[in-house]
Amino acid sequence: MKAIHRIIERARSSPRRIVLCEAEDPRVLQGARRATQEGIARIVLVGDAARIADAAERHGIALDGMELVDPASAAQRDRYAQQWLALRQSRGMTPEQAQRDVLAPLCFANLMVRAGDADGSVAGAVHTTADVVRHAIQIIGIAPSFRLVSSFFLMMFCEPFHSLKGGLIFSDCGLVIDPDAEALSEIAMAAADSAQSLLMETPRVAMLSFSTNGSAHHAAVDKVAAATQRVRALRPDLAIDGDVQLDAAIVAEIAERKLPASQVHGHANVLVFPSLEAGNIGYKLAERLGGAVAIGPMLQGLRRPANDLSRGCSADDIFHVIAVTVVQAQAADLEAGDASAQMALPGMAGGPATGTTSSGATQS
């Protein structure tokens, strides 16, 4: 079974409430309709209710089974405005501005997730990536176990001509431009968690470089090696190789020659790129020349899932991202339950330490 089919089946097994804030777009309505019909999510459409209904009628899309929430008349409008004010007052937010901001569907949708009134958010068919990411970070916030938000692509290699079959996680290909060693280690750990929840496989991480096990000497190699060591210290049970070249990461025979002490043995299912430049080139090469299907970019490292769409996305793309968001929400619920159980044990106090935010304009 293809990885995306497993994700859809996992989503269907326990649907979550996913909020969409661009529901005047017919692609969003079509993706939401399919998600509702296939039972993978409980869809909430946020926006001007009359305009959403008009768009649905014009495009022949039934809204049965979906909830419409208009920020202008929503019962939770004042409560959300107070929450938004509390989050941003130290940065100059006024009560009047907070009341205006919550009328914007993107802001309102993320506040729904923060308040627990929705389990995840999907946007980006109309809004820019910068807007989607900024709202997610400012409103939903960074997970306590991470210090920054990054992104990943789920890459599907399922065609007969693919020698490497199945799904891989590529990270970071869409957000963090030039991570230092600490940020790169955070990306690697978040990507491993994404592989665990979405591929439903034990993560096997390759920290990519132009060097394998110190075969080249350069500051760029040192960064990857240092990031790998930090991951090993924090996640000693995680299989990870680094620094490692791509061929040694995904070809067992080459790994055996180049890296005899490998933990991954040429079977990586998580590829962590040393920079956004490398990651963006890498996923597009795999997609355009290698015939892989790229789903994403999706966000990782948030308290609750909020995912970005390409403004060139199709209705099928939106359906797939909804499915991924549901599975991420399931994983977040499981993690929260485990954390609560640990805190309840005798002698345990407090939760994970809250991390600081990495540098970068989108992380403020």
Residue numbers of the domain that contains 289:
143-301
pLDDT of residue 343: 44
Sheet holding 166-171, edge to edge: 239-244, 204-208, 270-272, 166-171, 150-157, 293-300
- Domain boundary pick from 80, 112, 141: 141
Instruction: Indicate whether 157 and 275 sit together in one domain.
Output: yes
Residue 108 domain-assigned?
yes
Instruction: Indicate whether 49 and 93 sit together in one domain.
Output: yes
Instruction: Indicate whether 185 and 202 sit together in one domain.
Output: yes
Residue 331 domain-assigned?
no
51-86 per-position pLDDT tens digit? 999 999 999 999 999 999 999 999 999 999 999 999
- Domain boundary pick from 278, 301, 324: 301
DSSP 8-state class, residue 165: -
Instruction: Indicate whether 175 and 280 sit together in one domain.
Output: yes
DSSP 8-state class, residue 267: -
* Entry pTM: 0.86
pLDDT of residue 4: 87
Q: In 3D, which of 146, 144, 118, 120 has the Cα closest to residue 132?
A: 120
pLDDT of residue 165: 80
328-339 per-position pLDDT tens digit? 999 988 877 655
Instruction: Indicate whether 127 and 153 sit together in one domain.
Output: no
pLDDT of residue 339: 55
Instruction: Indicate whether 153 and 281 sit together in one domain.
Output: yes
Residue 290 domain-assigned?
yes
CATH number (domain holding residue 49): 3.40.50.10950
Residue 17 domain-assigned?
yes
Give 312's Cβ-side CA count (13 Å radius).
2
Instruction: Indicate whether 135 and 149 sit together in one domain.
Output: no
pLDDT beneath 70: ranges in the chain: 1, 337-364
- Domain boundary pick from 141, 157, 179: 141
